[in-house]
Amino acid sequence: MTLTLLVKLFLGTLTTLQVSLIGVAIGTIGGICLGICTCQKTNWRIFKIYISVVRGTPLFVQLFLIYFALPQITGLAISPFVAGALSLGINSTAYVAEIIRGGINAIPEGQWDACVSLGYTATQTFSYIVLPQTFRNVLPSLVNEFIALIKESSVLMIIGVAELTKVSKDIVSRELRPFEIYLLTALIYFVITSSIAYIASKYEGE
Amino acid sequence: MIIAENIAYTPPKTDRPILQDIDLEIVPKAISVFLGESGSGKTTLLKCLVKLINTYTGLIRYAKQSRVGYVSQHYQLFPHMTTLYNCVHPQRKILKRSLKEAEQRAYEFFAKLDLIDLINRYPPELSGGQQQRVAIARTLCMDFQTLVLDEPTSALDPTSTQQVSDMLLNLKSCGYTILISTHDMPFAHSVMDYAYLMNQGKIIEHFPSGQIPAQSKLHQFLFR
């Protein structure tokens, strides 16, 4: 296997990491906001509809809607990378929101009472008391979601994002060595996802 | 002082009242104990008095600048903070005290309640009695003049119960007004100045501790 191929795979890996990282960032920020808005204490139904729609439609279709349909309506062209990151983020937001919502609802009612009786405002209660405990409780589920997101980023090849799977496919179509290339690709995904799982388990232990 | 007039409370989406016709006047700088069977409305009444339930009808009046602190049955310390920080954090965020000032105040009450050895421990590492005392210390740090404790000894062994009752008597002598709901009769006997008996959401009898008539329901409840 030539150095050029390895460099191409490395660049593909970098793109996968970049697009996933943006997706995770959007998913985390959006998911926290939506999780707060849909928990038992707030229960804003409009956001529950959003979550149902996103969870009830395939990422593939969401990707096409953003990459092909959105420019048709707005008239603004959107690059494959931006469309991909946005799709991953929007999709992840719904799943993270459900994880956060479950975590918030699991905080004992007495913790809320303690905050009210001490005099914390609602914002302080969420920021200092509820969310830190929620994150600790839902960390394994969040890590699962982010690992799934990294793997799902391979779907972005369909709109031409030069991420790891697309780069591998392009190499295979030229070199005709599917076994080595796809095995190496799988290994790279495995190293990325298991590194994240390992770091998270260390943090969880602490 | 707290005065409650004609308090009634029916939870949302139900038609069964939990509190009815409650009139009471809490004597300051004394320990008032609320007794009654499970479901008689003790906890709900205390939650109304500390404004954790706001949808009651009737009127609750508080003496000027009187602030009421609440310690629930399960203590509800914040598990992600050390015991010291449990006491420092609310002071910093709510009373806007400096870190030094908040820590000084916390140390003062930790010393009073014999908790100094526990300052760097996390709540899940503590026994029930220790958590109870930390929860009370946290409430005291917030300058509440009135303490409301819901079932403070429900999960405690006799030694811890004794420690809590000694501590409450000590706090009373320092001028605190204390309200307690409990099922623990020996504990109630050891601390109460005034006793209230509740049944089906009503206060059916109340007497000062030394003047409970032998034929009263309160007496029967206390000595059964």
Q: What is the DSSP letter of B102?
A: H
Domains within chain A, CATH numbers bracketed:
19-154 (1.10.3720.10)
pLDDT band (50, 70, 90) for residue B141: very high
Å between B137 CA and nearest CA of chain A? 12
Q: Which of A107, A111, A116, A118 to mutate to test the interface with B (most CBs of B within 10 A)?
A: A118
- Going from N- to C-terminal start, the domains of chain B cover 79-144
- pLDDT (0 to 100) of residue B107: 94
- pLDDT (0 to 100) of residue B63: 81
- Tell me how far CA of residue B82 lies from CA of B30, B87, B117, B123, B124, in angstroms: 31, 9, 12, 7, 10
* H or E element that contains B106: helix B99-112
- pLDDT (0 to 100) of residue A206: 66
Question: Over the stretch B67-79, which tens digit does the pLDDT of each residue have?
Answer: 899 999 888 999 9
Question: Over the stretch A52-106, which tens digit does the pLDDT of each residue have?
Answer: 999 999 999 999 999 999 999 998 889 999 999 999 999 999 999 999 999 999 9
B195 within 8 A of B222, measured Cβ to Cβ:
yes
Question: Over the stretch A133-179, which tens digit does the pLDDT of each residue have?
Answer: 999 999 999 999 999 999 999 999 999 999 999 999 999 999 888 99
Check CB contact of B154 with chain A, cutoff 8 Å.
Answer: no
Percent of chain B with pLDDT over 70: 100
> Is there a contact between B94 and A119 if contact means CB atoms under 8 Å apart?
yes
ipTM comes to 0.85
Distance CA A197, CA A201 (A): 6
pLDDT band (50, 70, 90) for residue B65: low
For residue B208, pLDDT over 90 is answered with: yes
B35 within 8 A of B189, measured Cβ to Cβ:
no
Structure tokens at A135: 């994150």
Q: What is the DSSP letter of B148?
A: E
Question: Over the stretch B11-50, which tens digit does the pLDDT of each residue have?
Answer: 988 889 999 999 999 999 999 999 999 999 999 999 999 9
> Is there a contact between B52 and A117 if contact means CB atoms under 8 Å apart?
yes
Distance CA A43, CA A35 (A): 9
> Is there a contact between A113 and B52 if contact means CB atoms under 8 Å apart?
yes
Quote the longest CA-to-CA distance of chain B.
Answer: 55
> Is there a contact between A110 and B76 if contact means CB atoms under 8 Å apart?
yes
For residue A204, pLDDT over 80 is answered with: no
Task: Give residue A74's Cα distance to chain centre.
Answer: 25
Å between A104 CA and nearest CA of chain B? 14
Distance CA B94, CA A154 (A): 48
- Interfacial residues of A (vs B; Cβ cutoff 8 Å): 108, 110-111, 113-114, 116-120, 124, 128-129, 132-133, 136
Question: Over the stretch B91-104, which tens digit does the pLDDT of each residue have?
Answer: 999 999 999 999 99
**Rounded to two decimals, what is the model's pTM?**
0.85
- Mean pLDDT value of segment A125-132: 95
Q: What is the DSSP letter of B27?
A: P
First CA to last CA distance, chain B: 31
Å between B71 CA and nearest CA of chain A? 7
Q: How many CB pairs under 8 A join A and B?
A: 48
> Is there a contact between A116 and B78 if contact means CB atoms under 8 Å apart?
no
Distance CA B107, CA B114 (A): 10
- pLDDT (0 to 100) of residue B128: 85
- pLDDT (0 to 100) of residue B146: 92
- Mean pLDDT value of segment B165-180: 92
- pLDDT (0 to 100) of residue B153: 86
Of A143, A124, A132, the closest CA to residue A104 belongs to A132
Q: Which of B46, B67, B76, B92 to mutate to test the interface with A (most CBs of A within 10 A)?
A: B76
Residue A127 CB partners (closer than 8 Å, separation 6+) = none
Check CB contact of B11 with chain A, cutoff 8 Å.
Answer: no
